Each structure stands twice: as structure tokens, then as C-alpha cells.
Structure 1
């Protein structure tokens, strides 16, 4: 039994969040929980635990009220069914699921012949000028050198490129210690996919491209490969993250650890960070699971676009790199917010 239930409910029933212009350009469809494929079979307790990890940081009163209710340890499935409504948010584009992971690179705190590729902090001038220098200009020019902006040096420029795509990772030092780095900013240029560029150039067919395929081709063709990586002008800077335990996941956009198999990165213009999202991923290995929108990504754009977090290390990276599947995302919204979104869609 949830103590003080209706007192708390009264708070959020009167609170309807305002809708952004981007939300008003979309359509919103209300579903019942019976229409969610596989809903009854999921581990709702696990989903609730992940939701409670970040919901204290949600600002709106209706979300805060639901977070307080969830912390009273209700029946997890009943909690979601009683206080949320499933909403499909669409803008005419097909759903697309990809995967991401936390890479682990070999590196050092000192530069050497082996460890010579720098992991940079963000220089202050790049914050004042957007867009700033391109990837090519940063890596081939002198703007970053001799300024003490290096967090560490790693031994593989290809892995460093993919570390920037993931936005966070671990660096294993020669003495066995591990440091963690998180997203620290970017140069302001739009992300451009090197996989799409490989297809455009006729190097591979679209179904052949994966992270491992890209890495192997770049290593086999170092000169052409470097030019291929320059096709993406976006450059990500990092910050050292020392407060996260090694057993926990990396920090997401909500500055909390993300959870393998339960965290997704979304476009916050459409999906509120911290919201539960029902995933119906099709393809070779279907997923039917309640996840939580706790992260973002520069390539994640649109209401039916999500990146699923697979965990840390090589195996997680291989699984994430293969994922590119259709399906459907359904956002669980507080009841009054859900009906408010529906009214915005009506003529």
C-alpha cells in the first residue's frame, strides 16, 4: 500500500508541463498497456530501480511526485500502469535502434612512442566559438599542443575516434589502474557518419557496415582511413571522472551512471530525460523491455530514435556495433501530461 497516495497524486494532477515547438510539430497517440507487445513478461522491478536512479533529478512537479511514489516501493508493474500512460511520439520517420557501449582503451598518463594519441580536455575558446575548429584542424594543427590539455595518451587513434562517438570510456594504464573519462564538450560541428560515407564511396554495402568493419578497414588502409575519419568534422572533448565506482556504469546525460540493457539515449527535444520508454526492437534479436531515457547522443535525432546501452568492453562493443534495427518506441508519460500531448495533436 502506498502511504499518502492521493495527497501526492493531487500535486501532479494539477501540473501539466509545457510543450516545446518541436513537440507540437509531431503526432502523439495514446495506447493502453495491453497494446504493448510483451509488457506483462518484463522485469518491471528492474525497470523501476533504474527509473529511481535518475528521477530525483527531474525538475517538473508531476515527475517529482511520481518519483516520490516510486521510492515508497510499490508493486512495480502496478505503479507504471496506474500512474503512466503509453504515448507513441512520431514525426513521420521510421523508428531506428542502434547500440552504444563504454569502450576500454590502453593508455598512459605520460606520452611515449606507444602512447602518443592525446585525449583532450575542452579548450576554453571552443566554448565561446561554435562551430570551432574541425577534427582535421584539431588533429593536424597546433591549436591544442603544449597547453596541458591532455588527460591521457592512448595507443590507437581508431579506438580514440570511437571513444568520441561513444562519449565516455575507460583507459587502462600500464600499471593496471583504470581511469574513466566522460563527455566534456564538443567543437560544435555536426556529426557525419563515416559508415554512411563508406557506403556512398562504394567501399561496402549498407548491410555490411559495422564498427568492427570500419575499424579494420581504417587499419588496413591507414592513409585513406585517416582521411575517412576526417569526414566527420565533429570532435568530442573529455573530462576525467573519478567519483564513479568501477562496478558502476559510465555517467549519462543526467550525470548518473547508466545501466546496461535498461538505459537508452534519446533526443530530449521529444523524450524527457528520465522518462520510462517501452522498447519494441525488431530484427534478429528482438527486445521487448521497459528502459529509461537517461542519455543523449549527437547522432540521436527524432522521436523514434534510440541508442541502447550495452555495457563496457569488447563484447558489449561488438553487440552494440551490430545493432541497427527497426521497431517502435513508446514513452510512458504521467497521465495528465499524456492527455495534454494528445490534445496538442488534435486539430
Structure 2
């Protein structure tokens, strides 16, 4: 469901407000943050081993798509240190060596042994729960826009490259306590200040820099493209090209669906991406003000290197698999981890009907609004059906992570 959807591959930067308020000078470096804000603890997960036959929908599940997706994840671990833990806070997730071994064994699968049987041999299902937390599955997709390679009276909404003055500062290079945090801004004199927000960019802050590489015919479609993070552009010459996430302005993501609810414009029970589009169509004079509430702005790059049949590239650096790739919070679930999901999903019709959603999925992406335990975002692919299902999805689910059997001795009971 759009209300909770975020921007893919945009990491949270907790030091941003501190450094901006201090006006962090390039010449003198940055002062340290108080030790009390140094880090946050991983959510307290309750883990319970369960037998394979207890997984709902296992007998009828298709293991081929998630197996192929998992092998793509495996390719990113080839050079990993075997002794490195899969997760710094949860030893029972195993080591990279445990996962590399499982990857090799799965790739060596004899034709006489089914994929489901090989997964049962290599992995143990572990049900996850968090006291006081309700799980939530939403959806995202790869939108298709109408565009052109040159501006015209119809195609007058630019898709921009990353500006040359956008700075990405690795704060871990200055202080160990900031390890993994990135500051995004621009230089103004000898100081780093926040980069232009959505409203400033719309009002011309980046005009005249030759940053546009494609033009589309709808500012609303572009807004939703920025939220999804990647998409396909049907060009006027008859060809289809693809664009992907290239950078972000460092400004915080804000869910405009939540704003519409708080403003009393849309009832919470009706909220969906389709409902937001309907509101925008009915209030064209208020669209820009609503979109400007989300200060985050995404820059794109053309992806001519992608297989037309493959999905966009996710946070793990591998193509996503429609209906089998899942965006998660990497602080909770490591990239590449197989997860058995037991829930429900909307149909492709424009009503409230749902169908069982029980399958093996692979954690291969992240999202700016995908935060906390048992929070996932299902990639539905591209096309009208994918847009409908992604826009209406907001359902609870039961999560079972698959842990290599070599790590079983560490699973808490």
C-alpha cells in the first residue's frame, strides 16, 4: 500500500540534523555527537524452530523462482569472509561460511532431487515474532511512463541525473561512532548545507544545468516513479528504456498518503495508491502543494544494461524477481535471506478481494519507509496488474526465516 511506501536504497541518516544545525564547516571538520545517541539496539526477535511440514502452502509452492533469486544473492557472497557473521547482533543467523556452503550445495542439486527437498535438506525454518509488534506487508512495482528524449509541449517533465554539486560524505571516515552513516548536502562557501528540497527543485534550483536526460508527460507519474525508485519509459520512437535510482537529495521521505488522512481528505480505510491518484485528479490545483510535503527527491540514470525481461536492480545489487523479491529492513533481516511468508495479497481486480500469499521469498531490497521488524514490501513486477496489487497491498503475515542447518546450534529457544 502506498501510504507506507518509501524510497528504495535510501539509508536513514541519523546525524543529519546535528550536522546541519552545527553548520558543519568543511575546513574544521565536525564535532562529535553525544555518546548516548551512538547506536540503536536491534529489535528483540523471538525465534522458534518449526518443522517444514508446518509451513502453510509448502506442498503447492513453486520453488523455482525463489531458488533462482537466491542464487543471484549467492553471487554477492563469493568473496565474503567465511567467519563474518550474517548479522552482527544475531549469531544464530549463521556465518557467511554457512551461507556459502548452502549456496554451493543448492547449485549442485541433482536433477533427481526436487528444489523443495534440497531446501529442506539445507535450511531450517525459524518463525519470527516480536512481542507487541504486528507484521505488515505492502507492495511496490516498476511503473511504465510515457516519455521522449527531447522536451516538447507534451513531454515537459524532466527526469534528472545526479547533480555534480551533490555531496555524499561518509561520516565514518571522521568518527568511528558514525560508521555506516552518510551526510548528503552541498557546499556553500566553506560549509555543508542541506541539498535543495523538492519544492526548491520544482521552482528552478537545478534549471540550466543540463541534468535532464528524458522527459515524461506527467508530473504525477514522475512523483510515483520517484517513490518506486525505478521504472520503464515508453519512448515516442517506439522503444522502451529503463531508468533506475541514481541518488537522492538527502531530504526526509514523507508519506503523502498519511497527510491526506490527517487532513481529512481520504478515510484511512480507503487509502491506497489508486485513491491518492484519484484525489490528485480531482484537485489539480492542490497537487504541487501536496507533493512538496515530501521533500525527498530522487535522481535517475538510464539502465541500458538490463535484460528487458529482468526486474530492476535492488539494494543487494541483483535483479529483482517479480512476486518473489522482498524489501526489508536490513537492520533486522540481512540481504539475501530466504523468508517463508504466510499471508494474503490483493487480486488484480479493483475490489477488496484477496488470495492466500504463501511462498518462499528472498530479501533483496530495502526502502525508506520499510523500517522495523516483520516489515516487508513485495515487488510485484511491472504492468497494470502489478500496479493494482502493489497499490492495494496492506496485510499482516507470518514470517519464517530459513537458516542454514550448520547454524542450528545457535538458534535461541
State the TM-score, normalizing by the size of structure 1. 0.87
Instruction: Report the Cα offset of residue 24 of structure 1.
Output: 6.1
After superposition, give the CA deviation of every residue in 1:10-32 in whole Å (9 maximum; x if it has no partner): xxxxxxxxxx9643644333333
- Map 1:1-347; keep pairs closer than 5 Å: 22-23=41-42, 25-58=44-77, 59=80, 60-74=96-110, 75-91=114-130, 92-128=132-168, 129-130=183-184, 131-142=194-205, 144-282=206-344, 284-337=354-407, 339-340=409-410, 342-343=411-412
**Structure 1 stretches lacking a partner, 5+ long:** 1-19
- Residue pair 1:62, 1:334 contacting (<8 A) in 2 also: yes
**RMSD across aligned positions (CA):** 2.0
Q: What are the superposed Cα offsets for residues 139-173 of structure 1, whole Å, 9 maximum, x if unpaired?
A: 2232x211121121110011101101111001111
- What SS does the corresponding residue of 1:228 show, helix, strand or coil? helix
Q: SS of the residue aligned with 1:23?
A: coil
Q: Is the 8 A contact 1:97 1:307 kept in 2?
A: yes
What count of residue pairs does the alignment treat as equivalent? 323
Structure 2: which 5+ runs fail to align? 1-38, 81-95, 169-182, 185-193, 346-353
Of 75-84 and 205-214, more deviation after overlay is shown by 75-84
Deviations for 1:174-215, whole angstroms, at most 9, x for unmatched residues? 011111111112122222111111111111111211112111
Deviation at 1:289, TM superposition (A): 0.6
Structure 1 residue 225 displacement after superposition: 1.7
Query: 4+ residue stretches of structure 1 with deviation over 6 A?
Result: none
CA 1:286–1:150 in structure 2 vs 1: closer, same or farther (change >3 Å)?
same
> Equivalent residue for 2:28?
none
2:348 matched to which residue of 1?
A: none
CA distance in 1, matches of 2:408, 2:164: 41
Name the structure with the higher helix share.
Answer: 1
Measure, in 1, the Cα distance between the counterparts of 2:270 and 2:372.
25
How many angstroms apart in 2 are the aligned matches of 1:186 and 1:113? 28
CA contact (8 A) 1:56 1:64 kept: no
Aligned equivalents of 1:307, 1:52: Cα separation in 2:
20
Match of 2:26 in 1: none
Between the aligned partners of 1:124 and 1:80, the Cα distance in structure 2 is: 47
Q: Secondary structure at the match of 1:264?
A: strand
How many angstroms does 1:242 deviate by?
A: 1.0
Deviation at 1:55, TM superposition (A): 1.4
1:106-144 deviation line (CA, Å, top 9, x unaligned): 1111111111111111224333353522211222232x2
- C-alpha distance in 2, partners of 1:264/1:117? 31
Q: What is the rounded CA distance, in whole Å, between the counterparts of 1:318 and 1:282 in structure 2?
A: 15
Secondary structure at the residue paired with 1:282? strand
